[in-house]
Amino acid sequence: MKSILLGCIADDFTGATDLANNLVRTGMRVTQTIGVPDGPLDTDVDAVVVALKSRTIAPAEAVAQSLEALAWLQAQGARQIYFKYCSTFDSTAQGNIGPVTEALMDALKTDFTIATPAFPDNGRTVFKGHLFVGDVLLNESGMQNHPLTPMTDANLVRVLQAQTRRKVGLIDHTVVARGAAAIRERIGQLRAQGVGVAVVDAVSNDDLLRLGPALDGMPLVTAGSGVAIGLPANFGLAPSQQASQLPPAAGLQAVVSGSCSLATNRQVAHFIHSGRPALAIDPLRIASGADVAAEALAWAGPLLQGGPVLIYSTADPAAVKSAQGRLGVEEAGAMVERALGAIARGLVERGVRQLVVAGGETSGACVQALGVTQLRIGPQIDPGVPWCHATNDGGLHLALKSGNFGTDDFFTKAFTLLQ
Ligand code: ADP
């Protein structure tokens, strides 16, 4: 493997794919790894995104994992490090964005970095240091009620300052609008004032493209996935078909869905209405001890030759609540994830080589059941969701869709795009 240009550390799995997708769209060849690899990869790419699951674990553990990822990326020659977090800046008063940023700065011996979750394509904008989700402030977006990382303050300078000993400052929109030279000048001023981390305003992709050149040579960048669109150009790369090229697709096609998000419910309904074969699995039947995975695979076996089949636990909120009430939230989730993981494994054993998985946690469970540890990132199906390729089982194409992503016809469109 040749030296990589950009080394990325993402604090969760589908967030890693989202970042990788933005890098591929803007010209980089990217591999995503699940956890820190044991040794060098056997592919040539411009960037590697190491996907951790460090968003809500204890800060000390998040720091340890991030430093392990950093050491591996440095060993692969990474010239710049990108710490990727959620575009809603998901964190608690303890972190983990602040502590991980600080630890990476220390390890890289750098006294300055930026922080911005801005991702205008997905409605996340930062203005005067305040994060907006669509038209409302972060703390009015529903994120104030998040079970693990409630965000009750939209002022990111204040939020981040509570998590770090480094002084936090702001590069506001009046500066960003004037371009890279003005941003660089402002960075110089902030550094002189002892600021270690600057939140950066961005309300459009143009802002992110102006920010990109100002980050050239900065050892560490911390951001959501948006900032990525301005970075490949710093390495002389431009958008190209070649960046997203995957080996040709072969084999049978299937969809496994464990997401109960609104968009996924619509996608399941769309697939069923298009007349294709679909089978619902019921958490209560799994709990009763039935071998639901074996039943689903026996159902799918004879149908697979005819085109894509769908196996889903996707249900409306009332049905999900009812199952959770009977089984417990976590237990219901874990049972369904185990069953869908086994189904994904069984489908691949029956010749499926093009697999769409819906649901962030569900994707994690399926990827684990399939033994996938590396994914080459290919063309985008819908914003935030690319086709990926793993070398497992002689070559496997995977599309891992987090809950609310994708148009209603995603489950059929995805396969059409791959042909
Ligand atoms: P999303 O990306 O939409 O949040 P996830 O896969 O991350 O989807 O999360 C969905 C969770 O709900 C998983 O833990 C899954 O196992 C669980 N689940 C799926 N179907 C059901 C159901 N019918 N009843 C209860 N829980 C379910």
pLDDT at residue 146, rounded to an integer = 81
Q: How far is the CA of 256 from the centre of ligand 1 (A)?
A: 12
DSSP 202: B
In degrees, to the nearest 5, what angle opens at C-alpha 228 toward C-alphas 236 and 184? 75
Pocket probe mutation, ligand 1, options 292, 310, 336, 401, max atoms within 8 Å of Cβ: 336
Q: How far is the CA of 251 from the centre of ligand 1 (A)?
A: 27
pLDDT at residue 267, rounded to an integer = 98
Report domain extents, the chain. Answer: 6-240, 246-418
pLDDT at residue 261, rounded to an integer = 87
- 160 C-beta closer than 6 A to ligand 1: no
C-alpha 362/C-alpha 350 separation (Å) is 20
pLDDT at residue 360, rounded to an integer = 86
Strands 30-34 and 374-382: antiparallel
pLDDT at residue 203, rounded to an integer = 98
Which residues in the chain show pLDDT less than 70?
Answer: none
pLDDT at residue 142, rounded to an integer = 85
pLDDT at residue 14, rounded to an integer = 85
pTM above 0.95, yes or no: no
C-alpha 346/C-alpha 349 separation (Å) is 5
* Predicted confidence (pLDDT) per residue in 2-60, tens digit: 899 999 999 988 889 999 999 999 999 999 999 999 999 988 999 999 999 898 899 99
Q: Residue 393's CB: how many other CB atoms inside 10 A?
A: 16
- Do 6-240 and 246-418 fold alike per CATH? no
Q: How far is the CA of 131 from the centre of ligand 1 (A)?
A: 28
Beta strands in 184-308 (DSSP E): 195-200, 220-223, 252-257, 278-280
* Predicted confidence (pLDDT) per residue in 121-155, tens digit: 889 999 999 999 999 999 998 888 887 888 999 99
CATH: 3.20.20.70, 3.40.50.10860, 3.40.980.20, 3.10.20.30. Which one for 246-418?
3.40.980.20
Write the DSSP assignment of 75-105 as a string of letters: HTT-SEEEEE--TT---BTTBSHHHHHHHHH
Pocket probe mutation, ligand 1, options 14, 321, 331, 362, max atoms within 8 Å of Cβ: 362
- 260 C-beta closer than 6 A to ligand 1: yes
SS3 271: helix
Domain 6-240: top CATH class = alpha beta
Q: How far is the CA of 57 from the centre of ligand 1 (A)?
A: 20
pLDDT at residue 125, rounded to an integer = 97
pLDDT at residue 93, rounded to an integer = 86
